A = this chain, B = another copy of it.
Amino acid sequence: MSASARPRDTAPGKAEDALSALTALVRDDLEACNRVIIERMQSEVALIPQLAAHIVAAGGKRLRPLLTLAAARLCGYRGQRHIGLAACVEFIHTATLLHDDVVDESALRRGQASANALFGNKPSVLVGDFLFSRAFQLMTADGSLEVLRILSDASAIIAEGEVLQLMTQNDTSTTEAQYLQVIEGKTAALFAAATEVGAVVAEQPPAAQARLRAFGMALGVAFQLVDDALDYSADQAALGKTVGDDFREGKITLPVLLAFARGDEAERAFWRRTLEEREQTEADLAEAQALMRRHGALADTIARARLYGDQAQAALAPFPDGPEKRALSAVVEFCIERAR
């Protein structure tokens, strides 16, 4: 998946304040988590920490481990297990990023040269496998079969979502249901697992665990919807992201599906030529953006994200008020406000 296709956590802007607040709230936990990440990505095979450092240590705001840390604290957890498990979540995320970049032949990740561009595809595949294995070693050391179930299930669903994305790529007959299955798999499943694990270590009753899982799932879908809109609308200078990656790769995202469904025959021919046959000229991205504006495709994608954001807030509502709840609620807004 391209840098555009999975939510990047690096977009700066005013909405970032929400993420900064969450980060500040669990700063000690996050620093401990980062220490586990650095320690556990070591290997006597030197290329592994070199490549892992490029993607693990350098990039990202650690959104997914932050969710695990904050969810555990929200549930009143006062132990240390959530720290190692947050590192597991980040390792799984990092492994999928490495494999995505190979799959997408991406040259950029988080605005920097991707690992596969710098080190080659081969080490990227294998170091991804290593980090994935490390995640399961860490979980095994933690010793909770419930956590192992949640994160092994999430890993399988992520892979299924990625394969489904490949199958729907360049196919304008993709349905919205299939698109939703793709983004629930490739993005939201790990958000859901990240928050659920926080409830599990805090030994919450099943209802609270299910609510935190639902929170993560809805948040993840909202996040990916906004990301797919940003791929056609981002202020490249402000967000430090490339616009048009999905278009160039022929990814079928909701903005495309809405514009395609609402377009006339000539417009559908445009989408088929550019996304299915991948015959694109310099002017085509601007034309795609114009068609999306004409049909309100980006605005409606963001509106859809808001609905999922509301679901996330509703799942959070029954938890007792406090700084963690407010910070998690603000993260939902952060995910959607990125689109401004």
Question: Which A residues have a C-beta under 8 Å from some C-beta of B?
Answer: 43-48, 95-96, 99, 102-103, 121-123, 125-127, 129-130, 132-134, 136-137, 139-141, 143, 145, 148-149, 152-153, 155-156, 158-160, 162-164, 166-167
A-B pairs with beta carbons under 8 Å apart, 18 shown? A43-B160, A45-B167, A46-B167, A47-B166, A48-B160, A99-B126, A102-B102, A102-B121, A103-B122, A103-B126, A122-B166, A123-B163, A129-B132, A133-B155, A136-B148, A136-B152, A137-B149, A145-B145
Contact between A143 and B145, CB atoms less than 8 A apart:
yes
User: Given A48-B159, A103-B121, A126-B163, 13 other A-B contacts at CB below 8 A?
Assistant: A45-B160, A45-B163, A47-B163, A47-B166, A47-B167, A102-B122, A129-B132, A134-B156, A136-B136, A137-B149, A137-B152, A140-B148, A145-B145
B-chain residues with CB within 8 Å of residue A159 when the two chains form the complex: 48, 126-127, 129-130, 133
Which chain B residue lies CB-closest to A43? B160
Which chain B residue lies CB-closest to A48? B163
Partner of A133, one of B103, B121, B145, B156: B156
Which chain B residue lies CB-closest to A143? B145
A231, chain B: closest CB distance, angstroms: 19
Partner of A136, one of B103, B143, B155: B155
Inter-chain CA distance A235–B95, complex, in Å, is 40
B-chain residues with CB within 8 Å of residue A164 when the two chains form the complex: 45
A189, chain B: closest CB distance, angstroms: 11
B-chain residues with CB within 8 Å of residue A132 when the two chains form the complex: 129, 132, 155
Inter-chain CA distance A18–B48, complex, in Å, is 39
**Which 9 pairs, one residue from A and one from B, show the smallest C-beta to C-beta distance?**
A130-B159, A133-B155, A133-B156, A136-B152, A129-B159, A103-B122, A140-B148, A137-B152, A126-B162
A128, chain B: closest CB distance, angstroms: 8
Partner of A152, one of B140, B156, B162, B167: B140
